[in-house]
Amino acid sequence: MPCSVTTWRIVSRIILTVCLFTIPSGQVLAVDSPDPGSIPQEVLLEVLKQQQKIAFVGIRTQTLFSDDPEQEDLVIRQRILHAPPDEYRIEFLDRPEGKESYVLAKGEHLFQWETGGHVHISERSPDQTLGLVISETYLDLLRKNYLIQAEEGPKVAGRSTYAVRIDPHYAGRPSIKAWIDSTYGVPLKLEKYDSRGELKAKYEYQRIGFRTRLRVESFSLPEGAETVTEVRGEEYATPGEFLRETERHAPLSNRLPAGFTLVKIRKGRSRGQEYLQSVYSDGYASLSIFAVTNPDDAPEGRDKPGLRAIRSGSRLGSAYAIAWIGDVRVTIMGDVAESELVELLSTVQLTGNAP
């Protein structure tokens, strides 16, 4: 998701040097081996606090299940090197099209590229975790809107685990199954289900090593590669703050699905266009409402009131719905049913100056 604006001068070569690193003692999740299932929320809290402090190397397989029955699922083998507190590297291998693609997270930035392609640079989310796809920031919301259960799990990659389930209290919400290393808190296996209960993504480690001295490596971006920097936007806590700072009104809905609340508002640019975005969350599932003024693409009848040219669909487990209000294209994306997003479009308000 877009974050606050930071201007950076990007050099053509950025080197990540991982020095000899030994994990300090005391960064252990379960020294006393608490009874499985006891206070599962606290298990999650400790996982979220600890996982960015853990150094490890591992190999895992990730599967992204296609929404189109005519397209094959995408299976990727990933080699991961994680060196806290703010650096880790992921290499994606064995892509079906024969390319290698890479993700390098370093400090506040995320670098992504494929062999022979552009390097895309974006700002790294402060909520980013090692794969559990939930955030300590929204843990209270998660506890309110989801049932969290934990018990002793099977071994994964030869290591003991907590088996954690996160199931929604409301129908039409996504869910998670995770098998978390019972000592270090890193999710060793994860399954993500969409609002219909269909498995949309999973990964599992085949090998992982902790408390190991990581070898010295230099890792650089492709020499001479063209960089494409994404400016992710400015962030505001409330509609009132957004209005005071920008003299604009955010795109808001006055009828939300149960459990959702407004958590932030953003203003930024993407592909040369300015957007306004309101972000809602229930602790795990999220909804975003985007507003972009684009008179060149607006359908006929823009001077008429109401929504026009509504279309909807689903991609990679997230549904979307798009319509026009005047010259403003309104897009809703989120982890709820497509029909629910189409209904939400009728509640969107665009008052004040559009982007």
pLDDT digits (tens, 9 = 90+) for 205-255: 999 998 655 554 545 666 666 777 776 678 899 999 998 998 888 999 888
pLDDT at 77 over 60: yes
In-domain check, residue 141: yes
pLDDT at 41: 57
What pLDDT does 327 receive? 86
130 with 268, same domain: the answer is no
Q: Is residue 21 classed as helix, strand or coil in its secondary structure?
A: coil
Q: For the segment 50-74, what is each residue's pLDDT rounded down to a tens digit?
A: 766 778 888 999 998 887 778 888 8
Q: Are residues 208 and 264 in the same domain?
A: no
Q: Is residue 116 part of a domain?
A: yes
335: containing domain:
233-349
pLDDT for 255: 86
**Per-residue pLDDT tens digits for 157-200:** 999 998 999 999 999 899 999 999 888 888 999 999 988 899 99
Q: What pLDDT, on a 0 to 100 scale, did the predictor assign at position 144?
A: 94
Please report, as a single letter, which amino acid is at residue 315.
Answer: R
Same domain, 114 and 210: yes
Residue 296 belongs to a domain: yes
In a domain, 87, yes or no: yes
Q: What is the mean pLDDT of residues 97-113?
A: 75
Tell me, yes or no, whether 118 lies in a domain: yes
Indicate whether 241 and 149 sit together in one domain. Answer: no
Kindly give, in sequence order, each residue whose CB lies less than 8 Å from that of residue 75, ignoring residues fewer than 6 positions away.
61, 62, 63, 94, 96
pLDDT in tens, 30-45: 323 334 334 455 777 7
Q: What is the pLDDT of residue 146?
A: 94
**Amino acid in position 9:** R
pLDDT of the residue at 113: 80
CB contact set of 272 (below 8 Å; sequence gap of 6+): none
What integer pLDDT is reported at residue 296 of this predicted model?
A: 79
- Asked which of 175-189, 259-273, 303-317 is least confident by mean pLDDT, the reply is 303-317
160 and 255 part of one domain: no
**Average pLDDT for the chain:** 76
Please say if the pLDDT value at position 341 is more than 60: yes
355 assigned to some structural domain: no
Query: Are 19 and 86 found together in one domain?
Result: yes
Same domain, 166 and 246: no
Q: Quick one: DSSP state of residue 51? A: G
Look at residue 96 and tell me whether its pLDDT is greater than 80.
no
User: 87 pLDDT exceeds 90?
Assistant: no
Point out the least confidently predicted range of 130-139, 147-156, 269-278, 286-295.
130-139
Which one is predicted more confidently, 72 or 279?
279
Give the pLDDT of residue 32: 33
- Tokens describing residue 200: 């949309």
Mean pLDDT value across residues 292-313? 77
Q: What percent of the chain has pLDDT over 90?
A: 26
Q: With contact defined as beta carbons under 8 Å apart, do 345 and 330 qualify?
A: yes
Do 82 and 62 form a contact (C-beta atoms < 8 A)? Answer: no
Mean pLDDT computed over 287-316:
80
Q: State residue 169's pLDDT score.
A: 95
What pLDDT score does 80 carry?
84
The verdict on pTM exceeding 0.75 is yes
Contact between 147 and 315 under an 8 Å Cβ cutoff? The reply is no
Task: Tell me whether the omega of the peptide bond preceding residue 85 falls within 30 degrees of 0, making it cis.
Answer: yes
Higher pLDDT, 177 or 93: 177
What is the mean pLDDT of the segment spanning 117-123? 78
Is it the case that residue 280 has pLDDT exceeding 50?
A: yes
The CATH number of whichever domain residue 263 belongs to comes to 3.30.200.100
Residues 295 and 345 in one domain: yes
Q: Mark which of 170, 192, 220 sits at the end of a domain.
A: 220
User: Which of residues 190, 220, 250 is at a domain's end?
Assistant: 220
Distance, CA of 78 to CA of 130 (rounded, Å): 13
Q: 154 pLDDT exceeds 90?
A: yes
Report yes or no on 8 lying in a domain: no
Residue 99 DSSP symbol: -
- The mean-pLDDT minimum among 29-38, 288-297, 313-322 falls in 29-38
Contact 161, 188 (CB under 8 A): yes
Same domain, 68 and 176: yes
CATH number of the domain within which 98 lies: 2.50.20.10
Q: Are residues 75 and 182 in the same domain?
A: yes
Angle formed at CA 149 by CA 145 and CA 154, multiple of 5 degrees: 145
| Domains identified in the chain, total number | 2
Looking at the fold, whether 62 and 107 belong to one and the same domain comes out as yes
| Same structural domain, 200 and 72 | yes
In a domain, 225, yes or no: no
Q: How far apart are CA 163 and CA 125, in angstroms?
A: 27
